[in-house]
Amino acid sequence: MTSKQTETTAAGQNRAAYPDRAEGLDKQELLKKDRAFMWHHMSPFNPNPMIVTRASGAWITDIDGERYLDAMSGLWCVNIGYGRRELADAAYEQLQSLAYFPLTQSHVPGIRLAEKISEWLGDEYRVFFSNSGSEANEVAFKIARQYHHQKGQPGRYKIISRYRAYHGNTMGALAATGQSVRKQKYEPLAPGFLHVPPPYCYRCPFGKTYGSCNLECARVFDEVINWEGAETVAAVIMEPTITGGGVIVPPPEYLPKVREICDKHSVLLIIDEVICGFGRSGRKFGHQNFGVQPDIVTMAKGITSGYLPLSATAVRAEIADCFNEPGVNQHFRHVNTFGGNPTACALAMKNMELLEAEGLVERAEQLGALLRQKLAVLEDHPHVGDIRSFGFMSGIELVEDRATKEPAAPDKVTQVIAECKKRRLIIGKNGDTVPGFHNVLTIAPPFVATEEDLDFLVHGLKEAFDTL
């Protein structure tokens, strides 16, 4: 493809394509500097990382001019696809008028975005902006604890999460995370965090089968709250679907039951929409698939489709209003220098407008159903134990033996990922989570992927599995 050629995304946007090879870049010199100065995220030392130089739609291009289908949307975040000029223009225009101002006061992009988020949530929420999902969850924990304190119950400080779940890498968010490998060598973490088993039907922690169980995975919250003493529990936090922990999708009755239990004990329900939000689930937010209304909603990633750092903690109005009452230290004593940067807010607003105007939330639902249908070709593979989907994301659990469900050895998981990359396909896995269970491949493409892209994805996966 030459620089004069064009390509069309599924959203119907024409834009100039890039030349096949990055010009004026010395790959070996860059790799040398990478080894000398860069510290990569979540990765053992890699002397030869892929250097990505540009991207468009659902495809990325490396420094050698090789194109790859990014079936993970970066880190579950480039929902609207790469190369959207509309987002760049929104950021540029805002940078010219007001590049920065702290939200100790206010600015127009922040006001408009907070209103839009509340509209999407379908209730009246107050929105506190930060930079990342970890920070959004830290804010939620602090708000939950202070809220109960100001309601006359200062003993409510405990937060209940789930094993296998990920909620961030700061000390509080990591304490809420139910993945022991992530915590090794960093403990002790923030106190007051408890965990319960996940709603993992494929490997039910309660030894039951869905349809003949008593929804023990949800009822365990009631038991733990009683055992701990409801007067000590501030909140429950959960993703609508456990994502990075293995795409563990709950039964449809699960989240409503947890909501009921939280209400019974006056415990706040925090829903972590960092990955599931902004269309990934086939709805604006993942919890909307289950008909519940959270007390607090945290979000990041897809809020800007990864184009700029931004996160938000949305709090129901009646909870937030308690922080406006007179008294010493009644206000929320938390500040974030860059949270709610006006440029990030303006870009996020344009991102949400495009998701609506181009019907990309509905498209994610359609593509998710289509992807699950196409993945059926892998169901009988001897190393595929389970395929789980939630909106436009899927998890493929690898096993050594389908009868015993013994998790696949790490070398098999690594082999599939490497073979996919050889075929110009980037997928993910639930790495650094739970010992012995790093065996789930993850897929979450941009919403602008085409059916041809999905065919390419599944064909690459099938060929990779055929090498096992």
Which is higher by pLDDT, 449 or 43?
A: 449
pLDDT for 22: 63
Of the pLDDT bands very low, low, confident and very high (cuts 50, 70, 90), residue 276 is very high
8 Å CB contact between 453 and 445:
yes
Backbone φ, ψ for residue 334 (5° rounding): -140, 135
**H or E element that contains 30:** helix 27-37
Looking at the structure, do residues 94 and 195 belong to the same domain, yes or no?
yes
For the chain, the average pLDDT equals 94
CA 288 to chain centre: 16
The answer to the question of residue 412 being in a domain is: yes
- Residue appearing with tokens 């960092």: 274
21, 31, 32, 412 from 26: Cα distances, Å: 11, 9, 10, 34
Looking at the structure, do residues 67 and 99 belong to the same domain, yes or no?
no
Range of the domain at 337: 86-357
Looking at the structure, do residues 368 and 287 belong to the same domain, yes or no?
no
CB count within 10 Å of CB 326 equals 6
pLDDT for 43: 84
Peptide bond into 188 cis (omega under 30): yes
CA 435 to chain centre: 21
Surface-to-core class of residue 105, CB atoms within 10 Å of its CB (0-12 exposed, 13-18 middle, 19+ buried):
exposed
The answer to the question of residue 1 being in a domain is: no
The answer to the question of residue 126 being in a domain is: yes
Question: CA–CA separation, 313 vs 295, rounded Å?
Answer: 10
Instruction: Tell me the sheet residues that pair with 185.
Output: none
Of the pLDDT bands very low, low, confident and very high (cuts 50, 70, 90), residue 24 is confident
Q: Decide if pLDDT at 2 tops 50.
A: no
Looking at the structure, do residues 274 and 344 belong to the same domain, yes or no?
yes
Question: CA–CA separation, 392 vs 282, rounded Å?
Answer: 7
Stretch 140-150: mean pLDDT, rounded? Answer: 97
Surface-to-core class of residue 323, CB atoms within 10 Å of its CB (0-12 exposed, 13-18 middle, 19+ buried):
middle
The answer to the question of residue 47 being in a domain is: yes
For the stretch 429-443, pLDDT in tens is 999 999 999 999 999
Backbone φ, ψ for residue 238 (5° rounding): -160, 150
Looking at the structure, do residues 350 and 217 belong to the same domain, yes or no?
yes
Q: Decide if pLDDT at 15 tops 50.
A: no
Stretch 268-287: mean pLDDT, rounded? Answer: 98
Looking at the structure, do residues 231 and 352 belong to the same domain, yes or no?
yes
Looking at the structure, do residues 451 and 310 belong to the same domain, yes or no?
no
Burial pattern 230-262, b for ≥16 Cβ within 10 A else e, equals beebbbbbbbbbbbbbbbbbbbeebbebbbebb
Q: For a pLDDT cut of 70, what percent of the chain falls above it? A: 95
Q: Which of 294, 323, 357 is the last residue before a domain boundary?
A: 357
- Residue appearing with tokens 């930060």: 130
Looking at the structure, do residues 233 and 338 belong to the same domain, yes or no?
yes
Question: CA–CA separation, 297 vs 76, rounded Å?
Answer: 18
Q: Decide if pLDDT at 372 tops 70.
A: yes
Instruction: Tell me the sheet residues that pair with 60.
Output: 55, 68
Looking at the structure, do residues 12 and 144 belong to the same domain, yes or no?
no
The answer to the question of residue 53 being in a domain is: yes
Q: For a pLDDT cut of 90, what percent of the chain falls above it? A: 93
For the stretch 316-335, pLDDT in tens is 999 999 999 998 999 999 99
Looking at the structure, do residues 335 and 391 belong to the same domain, yes or no?
no
Q: Which of 340, 357, 374 is the last residue before a domain boundary?
A: 357
pTM of the model: 0.94
Question: CA–CA separation, 336 vs 183, rounded Å?
Answer: 25
Q: Which value, to the nearest 10 degrees, does the dihedral of the CA atoms of residues 134, 137, 142, 143 take?
A: 150
Q: Which of 357, 383, 407 is the last residue before a domain boundary?
A: 357
Q: Decide if pLDDT at 137 tops 70.
A: yes
Of the pLDDT bands very low, low, confident and very high (cuts 50, 70, 90), residue 5 is very low
DSSP 82: B
8 Å CB contact between 419 and 412:
no
Of the pLDDT bands very low, low, confident and very high (cuts 50, 70, 90), residue 21 is low
Give the CATH number of the domain where residue 259 resides: 3.40.640.10
- Strand order in 311-316's β-sheet? 125-130, 311-316, 296-299, 268-272, 233-238, 158-162, 193-196
Rg of the chain, C-alpha, whole Å: 22
The answer to the question of residue 30 being in a domain is: yes
Q: Decide if pLDDT at 13 tops 80.
A: no
For the stretch 64-111, pLDDT in tens is 999 999 999 999 999 999 999 999 999 999 999 999 999 999 999 999
CA 34, 36, 41, 47 torsion-angle sign: positive
8 Å CB contact between 213 and 219:
no
Looking at the structure, do residues 92 and 212 belong to the same domain, yes or no?
yes
- Strand order in 52-56's β-sheet? 52-56, 59-62, 67-70, 425-426
The answer to the question of residue 249 being in a domain is: yes
User: How many structural domains does the chain have?
Assistant: 2
The answer to the question of residue 204 being in a domain is: yes
Give the CATH number of the domain where residue 72 resides: 3.90.1150.10
Of the pLDDT bands very low, low, confident and very high (cuts 50, 70, 90), residue 8 is very low
Query: If DSSP codes are grouped into helix, strand and coil, which group holds residue 372?
Result: helix
For the stretch 41-56, pLDDT in tens is 988 888 899 999 999 9
For the stretch 205-246, pLDDT in tens is 999 999 999 999 999 999 999 999 999 999 999 999 999 999
Looking at the structure, do residues 238 and 347 belong to the same domain, yes or no?
yes
